[in-house]
Every structure is written in C-alpha cells, then in structure tokens.
Amino acid sequence: MTDVFYRAPALRYPTIARGEGVFLWDTDGRQYLDGASGALVANLGHGRREIAQAMAEQAERIAFAHTMRFTSAAQEELAQRIAALLPFGLRHTYPVSGGSEAIETAIKLARQYFLEVGEPQRFRVLARWASYHGNSLGALSASGHIMRRRPYAPLLSPAFAHFSPPDPGCPGVAEDGECDCTRALRAAVERAGPASVAAILIEPVGGSANSGLVPHAGYMEAVRRIATECGALLIADEVMTGFGRTGRVLGMEHFGVAPDLVTAAKGLSGGYAPLGAVIANDRVYEAVRAGSGRFAHGFTYGGHPVACAAGAKALEILARERLVVRAAEMGALLRAGLEELGARQESVVEVRGLGLMQALVLPTDARPGARAARLSDFAFDEGLIVYAGSGGPDGVLGDHVLVAPPLIVAPAEIDALLERLERSLTRLD
Ligand SMILES: Cc1ncc(COP(=O)(O)O)c(C=O)c1O
C-alpha cells in the first residue's frame, strides 16, 4: 500500500537508493546504467558530494528569503557563471524552478517586452508541431506534441499557433536561404498576422518529440531572419540541449544563430535541485529595466538560494572538468557505436542527434510511442535507462528513444551501454 499518487498508479516502481557517476542502484541492489541522465538532467553524473555540500552549507546559512525583498550570494553567483558561459550577449538570468516555469516566464517576458516598447498588439507565440516545451498549460499550449495536448485541448490557449517542423528529407535551403520548411513558418506568420506575433519558440534539437532531429543547414538562420523581419523575438528552448549536452554550451551555437531569450533547466543544476532559468539579451532586459522597471511576474521559489547554490556549483564543475568538450568527444564515440549497432538491428531506422544527445528512430508503431516505450521497458530490464519519445513530423506518429548518458561518461561505459541496448533491441525484434 502506498500514499503516493504515482504517475501510473497501477505500476510498481523500484525504490531508488543511490547513484554514483553514470550508475544508479535500487534498494534491491539492482544496478542501472543511466543512459538518459534521467530525462537529460543528470549531466554531471550522480553522487557529486561537492554539490551536496554546497547545498547543505547554503541551507544552513539561509534556505529561503523572498526575492521580493532580498537577493542572495548564490543567486548572484549563478547569474555571473551563466553570463560568463553563454554566447550571443545572453547575460541576464531570471531563475525559476524548472523547464515549464522557464517557458511560462519567457512567454510572459516576450509579451511584456512588447508592452514596454509600445507594441501592445503583439501576443501570439508560434511554435512547431512535434515539439515539447512543458506540461503547465501555457507551455503545453506552446507544445506541438499531440498526445500530450489531446486530453487538455479545451484548456489550451488560442494565442499559440503551430508550424511544421523541418522535414528531414528537405534538400536544403536554396540560394535565397529559403526552402519549403522555412516557407511553412512564413505562412504561419502570415496566418497569425505578422504584427501580432510576439515570439517564435523553437528547440534547437528535437527532444521528447521528434527526438534528435537536427535542422538542416540554413534552416535556423531563416527562422532568425523571419523573426526579425516580422518584428518578433526568438526564444530558444534549451531546457534539454543547454549547458553542454550537445557538445556546445548552447544548442544554438551549432547554427551560429542568436536568440533573444533562452530557457534552461535540467542540466543547469544537473538535477541536484529543481532549477530553471530564462536568460535574456540586453535588448529585452533593457526594455524592462528602462521601461516600467518591473517584470510583472514571479514564483515564490524562483531564485531559491539552495537551488541556486546547486546550479552555481554545477556550472563551476562543468567549466573545471571541461565537460562541454567532453560531451562532444564522447558524443562522437556514442554516435559511432549507435550507427554500428543500427546497421545490425532491423528496428533502427536512423541514428540522429548532436553530442551526447543521440536518438534512435524506430519504425513507426500504429499506437504512437508504443514501440519506443517497449524498447525502454526492455532496456530497463537489462539495467539500462533510455528515454522514450514520440511524435514525428505530424506531431503524432513516430517512435524514438534518446540515448544521452551523463557528460562524464567514459568509453568503457559507452561500450556497456551499447551492449545492454543491443540486447534490448534484439528482444524488440
Ligand atoms: C525542451 C523542453 N522544454 C521544456 C521542458 C519542460 O521542463 P520541466 O519538465 O522541467 O517542466 C522539457 C522537459 O522535458 C523539455 O524537454
């Protein structure tokens, strides 16, 4: 008997006992290789004493003081470290407690930006089909993941419109920098009314939906151009891709495209505390600072000192251990291993992704996500955690699993991961 309202009440969940590096153990002593870093969260690996200590010291000194009245050394250090790491002049950090909160915050900040600059007619947000931006109602309204939207459709906001994701079969942009995929976005802007669009919201690499999808060359530049031409802000959702996962600090660096706002969470604290953030460029920050002087928003736990202390220490480790470069190196090894495995296994249609964010595309199942879920269950039996995703180009059909171990993963651990994955795929066949 339990008093917990589990995600799936009928399921029995093993009880987690501890973690060390890329491994987890449950209370029955079973070992799991965390091949998904949870859900692309535990980027620094498990069992980092240094982070636990930083959090404990912070909690002892002061665990909570409301940000309406106080800042904290931990919040200041977190923001400084983010500003030092991030490219594109992104340096104004608004801390929150997770990815969905970061998305809600970015959307509201985009709206407020246009109130500040005297364009109150701008409120619409354009996002892609086959995307995932979070489960709170604003973030779900933005998300183009049909299966997650369907039960809550009557509650979702009509202020959000969607456009098709880039087609993996697209021959690429023409000399004018356009292709059918970018024209789909232009058409969505026209339908919405260009003067009403506040933001275009985009994941640099497909995460829970359209897993591992990397836009073709020229696509992201066109998205930036279209946002600029219609006067909207560009928001990059880097909740999964941010802070080293793809082998760069930000996923957008692969395309050399500067967003106005970035959302982050997951790897920002490596899962040691619930932490997210919106990071703004000068244009947005200065509009609010010099305008009304107050962002009309806030969560009680935003800027929580213990969460900020975890994030600051996580970023210190990320830099000290050069984990972004390591993600690129280990990502190349993982990719090569997955491709070899894919050539042997019928169930692998494609391997795609960047750095340590790699996805296996599986044959589409008539029940969206069912094959990916089955593979993920077989892997769990084999002592391997992978992250099942669904929702291809139409936002519904398409099965994938993300393979994304912590950035500290060693070559021998990649081999162990691949062996367990191969056994799971063989069972799937
Ligand atoms: C790209 C992206 N944005 C937002 C979210 C929502 O984050 P959270 O689950 O922390 O609310 C997720 C979660 O998986 C995500 O992958």
Q: How far is the CA of 407 from the centre of ligand 1 (A)?
A: 19
Candidate of 132, 140, 301 to mutate for ligand 1, largest count of ligand atoms within 8 Å of Cβ? 132
Candidate of 41, 100, 104 to mutate for ligand 1, largest count of ligand atoms within 8 Å of Cβ? 100
Q: Write down the pLDDT at residue 393.
A: 74
Long-range contacts of 14-19 (CB under 8 A, 24+ apart): 18/46, 18/47, 19/45, 19/46, 19/47
- Residues 372, 312 share a domain: no
Q: Write down the pLDDT at residue 4.
A: 96
**Share above pLDDT 70 across residues of the chain, in percent, rounded to a whole number:** 100
Q: How far apart are CA 232 and CA 228, in angstroms?
A: 6
Any residues with Cβ below 6 Å from ligand 1, and which?
Answer: 39, 98-100, 103, 132-134, 203, 207-208, 237, 239-240, 265
- Residues 343, 291 share a domain: no
CB atoms within 10 A of CB 271: 26
Q: How far apart are CA 242 and CA 110, in angstroms?
A: 20
Q: How far apart are CA 326 and CA 332, in angstroms?
A: 10
Q: Which residues of 64-91 are buried (b: 16+ CB within 10 A; e: fewer)?
A: eeebeeeebebbebbbebbeebbebebb
Confidence category of residue 38, pLDDT binned at 50, 70, 90: very high
- Residue finishing a domain among 289, 320, 351: 320
Whether residue 90 is contained in a domain is answered as: yes
Nearest Cα neighbor of 100 from 259, 239, 304 is 239
Candidate of 203, 266, 278 to mutate for ligand 1, largest count of ligand atoms within 8 Å of Cβ? 266
- Residues 208, 70 share a domain: yes
Q: How far is the CA of 239 from the centre of ligand 1 (A)?
A: 6
261-280 confidence digits (pLDDT tens): 999 999 999 999 999 999 99
- Residues 243, 113 share a domain: yes
- What residue owns the CA closest to ligand 1's atom 10? 99
Whether residue 312 is contained in a domain is answered as: yes
- Residues 343, 299 share a domain: no
Whether residue 5 is contained in a domain is answered as: no
Confidence category of residue 392, pLDDT binned at 50, 70, 90: confident
- Residues 347, 215 share a domain: no
Q: How far is the CA of 345 from the centre of ligand 1 (A)?
A: 30
- Residues 204, 351 share a domain: no
Q: How far is the CA of 6 from the centre of ligand 1 (A)?
A: 19
Q: Write down the pLDDT at residue 424.
A: 98
**Share above pLDDT 90 across residues of the chain, in percent, rounded to a whole number:** 96
Whether residue 8 is contained in a domain is answered as: no
Domain around 247? 52-320
- Residues 422, 276 share a domain: no
- Residues 155, 70 share a domain: yes
Whether residue 291 is contained in a domain is answered as: yes
HEC letters along the chain: CCCCCCCCCCCCCCCEEEEEECEEEECCCCEEECCCHHHHCCCCCECCHHHHHHHHHHHHHCCCCCCCCCCCHHHHHHHHHHHHHCCCCCCEEEEECCHHHHHHHHHHHHHHHHHHCCCCCCCEEEEECCCCCCCCHHHHHHCCCHHHHHHHHHHCCCCEEEECCCCCCCCCCCCCCCCHHHHHHHHHHHHHCHHHEEEEEECCCCCCCCCCCCCCCCHHHHHHHHHHHHCCEEEEECCCCCCCCCCCCCHHHHCCCCCCEEEECHHHCCCCCCCEEEEECHHHHHHHHHCCCCCCCCCCCCCCHHHHHHHHHHHHHHHHCCHHHHHHHHHHHHHHHHHHHHHHCCCCCEEEEECCEEEEEECCCCCCCHHHHHHHHHHHHCCECCEEEECCCCCCCCEEEEECCCCCCCHHHHHHHHHHHHHHHHHHC
- Residue finishing a domain among 320, 346, 370: 320
Give yes or no for a contact between 291 and 28, defined as CB atoms under 8 angstroms apart. Answer: no
Length of the chain measured in residues: 429
What CATH number has the domain bearing residue 108?
3.40.640.10
- Residues 142, 175 share a domain: yes
Confidence category of residue 425, pLDDT binned at 50, 70, 90: very high
What CATH number has the domain bearing residue 35?
3.90.1150.10
User: Counting atoms of ligand 1 from 1, which one is nearest the CA of 131?
Assistant: 1
End-to-end CA distance of the chain: 36
Whether residue 223 is contained in a domain is answered as: yes
- What residue owns the CA closest to ligand 1's atom 4? 133
285-325 confidence digits (pLDDT tens): 999 999 999 999 999 999 999 999 999 999 999 999 999 99
Q: How far is the CA of 204 from the centre of ligand 1 (A)?
A: 13
187-200 confidence digits (pLDDT tens): 999 999 999 999 99
Q: Write down the pLDDT at residue 366.
A: 83
220-269 confidence digits (pLDDT tens): 999 999 999 999 999 999 999 999 999 999 999 999 999 999 999 999 99
Whether residue 238 is contained in a domain is answered as: yes
Write down the mean pLDDT value for the chain: 97
For residues 85-109, give the mean pLDDT.
98
Q: Which residues of 125-156 are buried (b: 16+ CB within 10 A; e: fewer)?
A: bbbbbbbbbbeeebbbbbbbbbebbeeeeeee
Checking if the pLDDT of 390 tops 90, the result is no
- What residue owns the CA closest to ligand 1's atom 3? 133
Whether residue 59 is contained in a domain is answered as: yes
**How many domains does one find in the chain?**
2
User: Counting atoms of ligand 1 from 1, which one is nearest the CA of 265?
Assistant: 10
Predicted TM-score (pTM) of this structure: 0.98
Confidence category of residue 50, pLDDT binned at 50, 70, 90: very high
- Residues 365, 345 share a domain: yes
Candidate of 203, 239, 390 to mutate for ligand 1, largest count of ligand atoms within 8 Å of Cβ? 239
Q: Are strands 350-354 and 357-362 parallel, antiparallel or unpaired?
A: antiparallel
Q: How far is the CA of 17 from the centre of ligand 1 (A)?
A: 25
- Residues 248, 327 share a domain: no
- Residue finishing a domain among 270, 295, 320: 320
